[in-house]
Chains A and B, each alone.
Chain A
């Protein structure tokens, strides 16, 4: 094991104000069990799970309440014992609506939690381990929440040469992964060993941004005596360093072609929190039903890192963080660059809720856009090396085909272009609109056939 500096940087990127000092040194705190949980059947991108319970049912902690429903899908478990009071559509953090199981948690749970039998990863077969990852509902806890079982079972013609652990956490404010690496480094190590077995022994690269020295030190200690090809890669602090494609490039100099998955260049990328959850699922038989969420921003009385069950309402998280302060004007689920703005605190967390940010008027900017002055800030900021200025102008003129010609489908929606635009143009938003429009058109075409 050794620690190396990333050799291959990407062009572009931005340096936002990070505000990580608000919570980076605060240990993860466990949230007291909330009275109600609303567990969405749509925890991540891909097909929602199929609900297995109905109103009035009693559920035990860890009980399966939603089963995998399609290829890119993962099961959902009850985060706590209690009674199902409703199964109804609820708005999720991303703004979409999906069925949610509302559980009134029992104050004094009589039944024991339903756990899966612990597995000894050294003796268990690859198939058993993979089945466990699937059964425990493990999915990416960094961004989109791609089900891990799908990632860990590459098609037979592909071989995983590099397992990359994403500990970049490049979004401002968020410190959940940073704290997980400090407090659960041994768990991450166990997860790495299990994943290495499932993927038939790839080299391991743990990618961490240079602004997380404590995390790097903790990982170095935990991984000191690990065998095999393992390296901690220290990435320069630059947004969006956490992007899968850019991390693969930083660690291996391989370029993922447009539209392709990381496995096409022999890489699997998994978030550090996910790896720790995977270790829990295998060694303790615990399904993924809780996660660390950073509650921060200048509208929160006591910023903190909270370990909360999936389905906790934002209102409960904010109450735990000392409540609102100074007149909150904006609530963001996730980080400020790619997070979703939510209309109220009546929204529940999912497996992908990495942060909950409350901003007062001082941190919220309201603006009006002016015409593009061709300054090229967005072109220099774009990590995908697109021309956001031209894309935005094409979309403004309703010429989606031209935007497609400029490669808008490669856009990560990282927000670097809008961030740096002096004319305050909605550059990212224009790209998003073009992508949605192109996808809708393709879907309509497919439906016709």
Chain B
């Protein structure tokens, strides 16, 4: 037997003994901060409705998270801020006039079914906010596709009318003779003077947030670049509506920068992220342009579909060992 060591008054642990001191909650906080400009825009365009919807979604998510953890006899995880982020993202994906109880149901579904049922943060196969949105789109089809809060003014190009449709619904209808390349339209899309979900109006606000995330290295450029690039290229080849209109309208920027980049449900390597982003862009455009489809927008579904094949992408994009 070996002699016993004396004087053990120090902590013992295995190396490394240094840490970057970045935490899950600080990453989530980064994303929340990055969403602030978009949220402010939502409040500007839709007023109190935006505040109510976001408050309802976040509260529903937090309560569900806490109750689920309690029921599962696991430690409370609302401190990691992921539930707050899911709530805010869900709210940004809802139309401004949605009844609040529906938003609450969405929040409960996002956390209860899409996240905690799988074991909590890190185990969910689908982006909880998007899965909840898909659920709501099927359950509350009418309210989820009604845009009455603000009237989108199309003043140029011979169509002097107020419309309650989103730009994408307008595209799907096939607005013959409409001048899609006019500067006024692009300006509206960029600054947010259009109909849509809370978070998908102003591309500028979203891009400011995305830049913040890139600078903080919270996300990498791969998924947003591949996603938006594919949408652009597809639209260019398709030759219908100008590519920039496709990129700036609907949820492309929000989806590419904030939803598809969700760590848990996207591939882990750079190569995998590029494939994932391209896939998202491709499916989005297929849904948007398919003449037989009923949906004018495909961002949510494209990300959910790509979430499903993320394990497969991961399997085939493992990094190559240094020296091999």
Instruction: Please report A residues at the B interface, Cβ cutoff 8 Å.
Output: 10-11, 14, 16-17, 88-89, 91, 97, 172, 245-246, 249, 255-258, 328-332, 336-346, 357, 359, 364-367, 370-377, 379, 382-387, 389-390, 406-407, 410, 413-416, 418-420, 422-424, 426, 428-429, 432
**B17-25, B163-171, B295-303: which lies at the A interface?**
B17-25
A429→B263 CA distance, assembly (Å) = 23
Contacts of A330 in B (CB 8 A): 10-11, 13, 17
Contact of A336 among B18, B26, B263 (CB under 8 A): B18
Quick check: A371 and B122 within 8 Å, CB to CB? yes
Is B183 close to A, CB under 8 A?
A: no
Task: Specify which of A331, A424, A426 is in contact with B10 (CB 8 Å cutoff).
Answer: A331
Q: How far is the CB of A300 from chain B (nearest CB, A)?
A: 14
In angstroms, how far is the closest chain B Cβ from the Cβ of A408?
Answer: 10
For B, the interface residue count at a CB cutoff of 8 angstroms equals 45
Least Cβ distance of A15 to chain B in Å?
9
Judge whether B173 is part of the interface by a CB distance below 8 angstroms: no
Please determine whether A419 and B16 come into contact, CB atoms closer than 8 angstroms: yes
Point out which of B8, B11, B220, B322 has the most chain A C-beta atoms below 10 A from its C-beta: B322
Docked complex Cα distance between A255 and B318 (Å): 19
Whether B12 contacts A341 by the Cβ 8 Å rule is yes
How far, in whole Å, are A344 and B159 apart by their CA atoms in the complex? Answer: 82
Task: Please measure, in the bound complex, the distance between the C-alpha atom of A64 and the C-alpha atom of B322, giving whole angstroms.
Answer: 42
What are 8 A-B contacts defined by CB distance under 8 Å? Answer: A89-B3, A256-B323, A257-B324, A344-B10, A365-B21, A373-B24, A375-B27, A414-B16
Question: Is the beta-carbon distance between A255 and B322 smaller than 8 angstroms?
Answer: yes
**B119 / chain A contacts, CB cutoff of 8 Å:** 371
Q: Which of A10, A14, A338, A341 contacts B322 (CB 8 A)?
A: A10
Q: Tell me if B's interface is mostly helix, strand, loop or mixed.
A: loop
B20 touches A14 (CB 8 A): yes
Instruction: State whether the Cβ of B269 lies closer than 8 Å to any Cβ in chain A.
Output: yes
Taking a contact as CB atoms under 8 Å apart, the answer to whether B18 and A16 are in contact is: yes
Tell me which residues across on chain A come within 8 A of B9, comparing CB atoms: 344
Q: Which residue in B7, B17, B265, B269 is a CB contact (below 8 Å) of A376?
A: B269
Which of A328, A343, A387, A428 sits near B12, CB closer than 8 Å? A343
Please report the C-alpha to C-alpha distance between residue A272 and residue B88 in the assembled complex, in whole angstroms: 55
Having A389-B268, A419-B20, one finds 4 other A-B pairs with CB under 8 Å, namely A11-B322, A255-B322, A343-B7, A374-B264
A245 touching B322 by the CB < 8 A rule? yes
B123 at the binding interface (Cβ < 8 Å): yes
Instruction: Report the bound CA distance from A331 to B26 in whole Å.
Output: 29
With an 8 A cutoff between CB atoms, is B182 at the interface? no
Please tell me if the beta carbons of B10 and A97 are within 8 angstroms of each other in the complex: no
Distance (Å) between the CB of A90 and the closest chain B CB? 8
